């Protein structure tokens, strides 16, 4: 899933700064069920989180 920079900014405004790790081109949102990694891809921010939510055996590393 990818979001525009504006939409991603709105999403991050809902998250406590204590739950974020921000690096150049990467933002990690720390959640109780695991970390969600967002990567800058051109003008958008993208994640693979939830991509395999219906397949419990699949793993995805970003």
| Digit-coded pLDDT (tens) for 15-62 | 999 999 999 999 999 999 899 999 999 999 999 876 655 454 545 444
Is residue 54 a part of any domain in this protein? no
**Whole-model pTM?**
0.75
Q: Return d(Cα 39, Cα 58) in angstroms, integer.
A: 21
- Cβ–Cβ < 8 Å for 43, 5: yes
Residue 9 lies in a domain: yes
In the prediction, which pLDDT does 50 show? 64
Judge whether 36 lies within some domain.
yes
Q: Are 51 and 42 in contact (CB under 8 A)?
A: no
Say how many residues make up the chain.
62
Count of beta carbons in the 10 Å neighbourhood of residue 53: 8
Q: Please report the pLDDT score of residue 62 as a whole number.
A: 47
What is the domain count for the chain? 1
Structural domain for 13, as ranges? 2-46
Whether residue 39 lies inside any domain: the answer is yes
pLDDT given at position 49: 76
Q: Which of 62, 52, 46, 49 is nearest to 2 (CA)?
A: 46
């Amino acid at each position: 899933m990818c979001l525009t920079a504006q939409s991603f900014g709105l999403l991050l405004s809902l998250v406590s700064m204590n739950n974020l790790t921000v690096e150049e081109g990467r933002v990690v949102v720390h959640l109780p069920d695991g970390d969600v990694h967002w990567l800058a891809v051109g003008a958008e921010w993208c994640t693979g989180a939830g991509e395999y939510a219906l397949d419990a055996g699949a793993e995805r590393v970003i």
